[in-house]
Structure 1
């Protein structure tokens, strides 16, 4: 495939998309109101209602055959096609409609499922950025392309997942049904720029492996005064084990876990600090470049802990404690081997003969984009024209495990990673998640421009 100049200037595409943007933001607000948390223990009805709403949105946008795709064991995906010329390339547009939980104790200033457009111009609400913005980006792309006299210049497939934020069943389904995702390029709208107005292509994703560690030392709680000092406390034993995962600088130090220095441009530290919201006096951890720490080195986080709450504490030795340990792993590594290394290390540092059970939870593979293809070249050019600036190529510490399944199903397809989730302010997964509507418009424009200029 090659890139060829298109007959329509970028400015004209941007103007056309600007005309669609108010309606697209209204569609996004409607989706944000649906609490589509697909985690176990949350109600299924809002998730299923969101799937139906997404299918309806795609139909109204021009993908008239949009339907729910039943995924065994999980929530449905939304699947649609838009035919283009017979000899045109096929492009699959991916996003997800499920969202992270939004407990009020995270510190939300407004109802997370009631979208609010604030004075700073950003739209707030859970999923406004991650990744219902991606859903409306693709809907807007279909609207713009199908409004052309000749229709879409490419064959489109749309795949909107319902379980990206939790343990996805779509990966196995795609691997068993590769024909559904056969295409020449995947466009994944679940990323974003470092800062609003600064165009970015993501070229690498860390993977994510996790396990649950349970430590037992006693048959039952016992008085901490009568027995403490000789009998081991399970929570203390667990804390000692977890403390071995990092060195004094804060670097992850698990033997056998891969790491390398990021070869490209460094991460913008000002952007990072703005997004991470460090408290006064708190230092960044780790060594080496910031880009390496975030994109090409592992990082371990204790994302859950089962132990007595402070409010319920009593003077006893704790007989059992558990932690969920998540480790981001670097592009190019073997995810199964990295999880084995993490588990092996934890077993090797068990103190005092404590009984330990370690259960693997998740294996999410990392991904590296081949940036040499014509689709990526066309995407980078389109971004530069829409934004009027040189495009950054960066990595991401986050993970999208489905990408590896998609690539295995269609090895020839190129991968484009972009979106409206800016690093500096979007606060995805946290309180007061938000999106800048202008980023949605610019991403739609870049996507339309790229697709119109890409041909066999």
Structure 2
């Protein structure tokens, strides 16, 4: 089976079963951030293992350094000589983000529900659809599988993949591959595929500012003693210039691909309120992909409701700094630390605590494997060539793969689209795009054999 028409016909026959398997996975509440649902993460790993075992894979559940259960499954090429065949590693993850407030969902978060052209549910896209896409491609090819395949489905991607370096080190021989397909990103738009070639890194830090040993009356001491919330606010205000660019010295910025991101799409997809001005300078994609950005994602301070006339002794903020491809988390931590220290006002005490970090990624997407991938995507999307896309978010484990397997070609693909709403309420998979992803991956495996 080598023609795209054969692949599409076979996918049509298989899609009901693939949908059923995906929906079964979505029903498992594999929230890796919730210790109370560790059993669900284990159940998700077992279900994933069984799905690949049913396709003739040697499948097992493995972990390293106390990490969450991952699935590794292997199968030799079924056509030609396996010893001479290329080896392809297919990556996805079976853990999901917390669903948070169920009231914000239009459907039950762990009951997959088709509405219009989407299948809704936590993990329906990120990333249980990645697992289903791998299954679909392998089922399409069946006994015509022309490459050796290693499937690696991780169980802790949504909590930072802390044990991944140890896992790659311990099981490196089992995971060695010529080409690695990481199905955890997205496409440029409905009907427009993409290869992700850059991702920003991440530094998160908690900054606490203290001006008092204990709270005091704001009338008795206001005007003389600085309050901690004002002091922290001045630190926060120093982090951007008047245009909204990150004002931390020493951070890297770079150029972005020449991709047009229309204003109407930006406003619709971002959820920006009408009339809001964009921050920063440079093209939209530079600001989103290849320049640093900084957000305050949490504050510890008294709530407005019930707040008393009191000078608060200490206030704390969580800083989320996205770093540009070409920068390092070590450099970004040091630059951020120096900036905070230089902008603490009035002699206040402060603490700077790094929460976590992740490296940025820049992929040199040239060479035969990338040519084959672009051709497969173009055919699957009926003549529309893929965009080389950056992503403003972070997938730090990709840098781990690049370091562990420097000779491999790493292809970052995925099933998401601009309205997938991964990590948020009403996460949904666009079903027609999902089918194109399945076709493209099956055709990719065929063409990689050549």
TM-score class, shorter-chain normalisation, is: over 0.9
Q: Aligned residue for 1:92? A: 89
Q: Secondary structure at the match of 2:65?
A: coil
Contact 1:174 1:180 in 2 (8 A): no
Contact 1:181 1:410 in 2 (8 A): no
Post-superposition offset of 1:315:
2.1
Residue segments in structure 2 that go unaligned for 5+ positions in a row:
none
Contact 1:97 1:161 in 2 (8 A): yes
Q: Aligned residue for 1:114? A: 111
Q: Aligned residue for 1:287? A: 281
Distance in 2 of aligned mates of 1:183 and 1:138: 16
Alignment of 1:72-91 (within 5 A): 72-84=65-77, 85-91=82-88
Alignment of 1:143-292 (within 5 A): 143-145=139-141, 147-148=142-143, 150=144, 152-177=145-170, 178-292=172-286
Q: Aligned residue for 2:349? A: 355
Distance in 2 of aligned mates of 1:307 and 1:31: 40
Contact 1:79 1:159 in 2 (8 A): yes
Alignment of 1:425-444 (within 5 A): 425-444=419-438
Distance in 1 of aligned mates of 2:186 and 2:351: 39
Distance in 2 of aligned mates of 1:227 and 1:453: 74
Contact 2:211 2:313 in 1 (8 A): yes
Contact 1:36 1:97 in 2 (8 A): yes
Alignment of 1:296-445 (within 5 A): 296-388=290-382, 389-423=384-418, 425-445=419-439
Distance change in 2, residues 1:26/1:334 (3 Å) = same
Q: Of residues 23, 28, 52 in structure 1, which corresponds to 2:22?
A: 28
Distance change in 2, residues 1:100/1:106 (3 Å) = farther
Residue segments in structure 1 that go unaligned for 5+ positions in a row:
1-6
Distance in 2 of aligned mates of 1:105 and 1:253: 38
Distance in 1 of aligned mates of 2:346 and 2:34: 35
Distance change in 2, residues 1:142/1:290 (3 Å) = same
Contact 2:255 2:290 in 1 (8 A): yes
Q: Could you report, residue by residue, the CA deviation over 1:214-263 in whole angstroms, capped at 9, with x for unpaired residues?
A: 22221222222222222222222112111111122222121111112214
Post-superposition offset of 1:63:
4.7
Post-superposition offset of 1:42:
4.9
Post-superposition offset of 1:385:
0.5
Distance in 2 of aligned mates of 1:318 and 1:111: 41
Q: Aligned residue for 2:124? A: 128
Q: Secondary structure at the match of 1:407?
A: helix
Task: Name whichever of 46-55 and 269-278 sits farther off.
Answer: 269-278
Q: CA RMSD in A?
A: 1.8
Contact 1:174 1:409 in 2 (8 A): no
Contact 1:426 1:434 in 2 (8 A): yes
Q: Could you report, residue by residue, the CA deviation over 1:268-298 in whole angstroms, capped at 9, with x for unpaired residues?
A: 4433332211122222222211110111101
Distance in 2 of aligned mates of 1:41 and 1:348: 39
Post-superposition offset of 1:127:
1.4
Q: Could you report, residue by residue, the CA deviation over 1:87-137 in whole angstroms, capped at 9, with x for unpaired residues?
A: 11111111111112221178322222222211x220111111111111111
Distance change in 2, residues 1:355/1:168 (3 Å) = same
Count, aligned residues: 444
Distance in 2 of aligned mates of 1:228 and 1:323: 23
